[in-house]
Chain A
Amino acid sequence: MAEFPKKIVEPNIETLYNVSPIPGAASKYECHRGHEKAIKLMSYPIPYPPLKGEEAIKRVLNRLKELANERRSVRMFMEICVRCGACIKQCHFYLGTQDPNNTPVGRAELLRKIYRRYFSIGGKLFKGLAGAKELTEKVLNEEWYKYFYQCTECRRCSMFCPFGIDTAEVTMAAREALASAGLVTKYITEVIAKVYIYGNNLGIPPKAFVDSLEFFAADVQDLEGITLKVPVVINKDLYEEFAQKVLAKSPELKQDVERILKEIDEVRSKSYEFVEIKDKAEILYVPPSADLFTNVDTTIGVIKVFNAVAEKKKIDWAFSPFASEAAVFGLFLDYMDIKDIQYRIVRQAEKMNAKYVVFGECGHAWRAYYNFLEALHKPLSFKFIHILEFTRDFIERGVIRLDKSKNDEYIVTLHDPCNYARASPKLIYDARYVLKAAVNNFYEMREDTIKEKTFCCSGGGGLLTDEIMELRMLGAKPRASALKEVIDKYGVNYLAAPCAIDKAQLPLVVQYYELKNKKTGELIKVGGIHDLVGRAIIFEKQR
């Protein structure tokens, strides 16, 4: 693993858009290739070893043709772009790397040039004159593989395109075409493989999952004297059902699968002080798994919200280690994996007779469930809601009360996760409602960097991997610039970012750009919204 890169650009919001193109500037950033162990667990048929030469080209072109037939967005976005360039200065990766292939139009043209050559009359007849180009292995490896994994699919560009061209759709199509020839990244396939084996991105097995929850509640009891109940649903037969699918593809995982099943027996037979094991619940809470590992305060905040509601209403809820991952990394690869990852949540909700599924602070969950769930899974036995909407509803109804003064040491600004900002039902406004109910000191960053125009943290879209760290840091330059402005102007010392990828990426961004608390000189704290809610929430029947 390379060492953490040194800062090579300065975050300055005044000069944010003063960039000129440096062709090839980002061509050094490349994700590691996928390996067989993970690739064979994918739902999408990805050839291993990767195809080469004519075979690869034929397969990619064939998939591209199919995609244009299967998805109107792919076909139209290949044809209606007029190269007006309105999108150019709106992409955080262009503003950070200055590589013109990282402009939305530049990125799309990598695909369009090939599309024209093989699928349009002008391209077939006039070739280069029509802006058409032949597909070669060099194009696949040096252009497509590199640059379509330099897009976080944040969709900011679609806000500025007169035709609403969504470069995320172009990126998703290109990645699927690459996958059909075996060109996939290590990070994405490994993470998806872990979901299929363990149920979450980090590979947290069921016993560690349950023990963590017990530990968090014990901590709160010790430090605050508050007793929290943490219900957990475990259905062993669900694990057995899905284990068969994994073993059919990778029989060598037998020992891992058996260990997981044994852990479930251990958990069921153990007695916990705070965790309550059961088979059914009305409400399934699905966190991003990182909330069990690093974003502990968010999880504690959420558990407190449920427990505070329980003081006034009968609420039957639970975690589930089987459904311990809200994020859907299939978004970064192909529709089949989106469907199969979501299927775990769908089956768990059915099995436990859940009426509602509540998703935690996670952008890739929201994007996948709000946009894709109903198109890929019918009928559904539950309704779904985001934890921010959930908490807001109870604050509005007066069921939960918060003491804002508990957060007075924080001067807070809000980073809108890209996946909440683009086409979700007003989640960014729910975030503000809950945040402002929990803190007294809140300042917005500059208008063109927030809400629907928020700049992506640059860690999503399957890019949260070490080998492209410098790329991630450069892409975060717009967000860092906006953050620096409010640090300087208002003394902001807490960056609220209600999304697990943000919580993994933004602390590194703060470190890279040396964004420090003006008073203490410490790096700016990055945390969730429910972290702050947890500090402010009032338990009326306890203490």
Chain B
Amino acid sequence: MIDIIFTYIALSIFILGIIYKLYTWAKSPIPVPIGIYQDSTSAASAIKHILLDVIFFRPLLRFGGNFILWLGSWLFHIALFLTLIGHIKLFLHYPIVLPMIEIRPILKLFVSTILPASLIYLLLRRIVHRDLRYISTPADYFVLLLLLGIIISGIIMANSGINLVAVKYYILSILSFKPVKVDLPIIFWIHYTLVLILLIYFPFSKLMHLFGALVSPTKTSYHKTKAHTKKLEL
């Protein structure tokens, strides 16, 4: 019973919280549009820059010693993205068969090693580098540890021969507002609870950088100058 209540609370806070946060961002105007890309003079070019920055983590590739950070953080986000895609099958009524089913074990192995390894890198670097220690907040460590807990419990669970049909049944029953009781092992509940905590935490934390990366005002601003000219009519 408590698991169901907690789920609905967490989902509501997650969805309403994100909407609220995005609303507060949108409500503040951009009185002076100041972009950071010199050739960005149209919405199309702004979108192009944002996509390049988000898909390839381009700013981390610029000269200046951030390459290891690029590698660690990009691999983490890719592995996370693939993991989340893999979870889609829990939310759909119909069975999904991935094309080229041979990929699945390779993908699974890749994700289940890269994901925790890159996360541990992100955690360790924050502990090892003095300048990062100085500027990190307790929240930064909390999020990394929370994610680590989710990932490790998820890997253990995935390798424990858990009854995925039962999990799917449970999830779908909650989403269709006809919740049922299920008998699942403790490792599932640990994973599930940590995920719900993450959902509640999400809108009020730096995890909103997910949206921030897409609508950062210095990237969405492009210069529509009418008064500037590069030539005189002379």
Q: Which residues does A use to contact B, with CB under 8 Å?
A: 17, 20-21, 23, 68-76, 79-86, 88-90, 100, 103, 105-106, 109, 120-122, 128-131, 155, 158-166, 169, 283, 309, 313, 315, 335, 356, 370-376, 380, 382-385, 389-390, 393, 422-426, 430, 447-448, 452-453
Contact = CB atoms under 8 A, between A and B. Distances in A.
Contacts of A159: 36, 59, 62
B206 A374 contact: no
Contacts of A80: 206, 208-209, 212-213, 216
Contacts of B230: 385, 389, 393, 425, 430
B48 to A, nearest CB: 14
B209 A383 contact: no
Contacts of B218: 73, 158, 164-166
A425 B228 CA distance: 9
Contact of B234 (A20, A89, A313, A423): A313
B3 interface: no
Interface of B: 21, 24-39, 53, 57, 59-60, 62-66, 69, 73, 126, 129-132, 134-140, 204-206, 208-209, 212-213, 215-219, 223, 225-232, 234
Contacts of B66: 86, 160
A393 B36 contact: no
A105 B206 CA distance: 14
B38 A76 contact: no
Contacts of A163: 209, 212-213, 216
Given A122-B139, A130-B137, A425-B228, A375 B36 contact: no
Contact of B64 (A81, A90, A164): A90
A383 B34 contact: no
Contacts of B204: 120-122
Contact of A372 (B32, B38, B60): B32
Nearest to A90: B64
Contacts of B129: 85
Contacts of B26: 72
A17 to B, nearest CB: 5
A453 B36 CA distance: 12
Contact of B135 (A106, A309, A425, A448): A106
16 contacts: A70-B28, A73-B218, A80-B209, A81-B206, A86-B59, A88-B132, A89-B64, A130-B138, A162-B53, A356-B229, A374-B225, A384-B228, A385-B232, A393-B232, A423-B34, A453-B62
Given A23-B134, A70-B29, A100-B134, A383 B69 contact: no
A376 B34 CA distance: 13
Nearest to B58: A162
A371 B38 CA distance: 12
A82 B209 contact: yes
A383 B227 contact: yes
Given A76-B25, A164-B219, 13 more contacts: A69-B27, A69-B28, A80-B213, A86-B60, A88-B135, A159-B59, A164-B217, A166-B34, A309-B234, A389-B230, A425-B223, A426-B38, A453-B62
B31 A375 contact: yes
Contacts, number: 203
B172 to A, nearest CB: 32
Contacts of A84: 69, 73
Nearest to A23: B134
A76 B223 contact: no
A307 to B, nearest CB: 14
Given A80-B206, A374-B226, A160 B62 contact: yes
B131 to A, nearest CB: 5
A84 B25 CA distance: 22
The 6 closest A-B pairs by CB, nearest first: A131-B137, A80-B212, A164-B218, A448-B63, A72-B28, A375-B32
A29 B217 CA distance: 32
Contacts of A120: 204
B138 A128 contact: yes
Contact of B59 (A70, A122, A161): A161
Contacts of B57: 162
A122 B205 contact: yes
Contact of A83 (B34, B62, B140): B140
A166 B73 CA distance: 21
Contact of A129 (B139, B226, B228, B232): B139
A115 to B, nearest CB: 12
A473 B129 CA distance: 27
Given A130-B139, A371-B32, A423 B63 contact: no
Nearest to A100: B134
Nearest to A448: B63
A448 B66 CA distance: 13
Contacts of B226: 374, 380
A336 to B, nearest CB: 12
Contacts of B24: 75
A426 B218 CA distance: 17
B25 A75 contact: yes
Contact of A158 (B36, B134, B205): B36
Contact of B65 (A89, A162, A447): A89
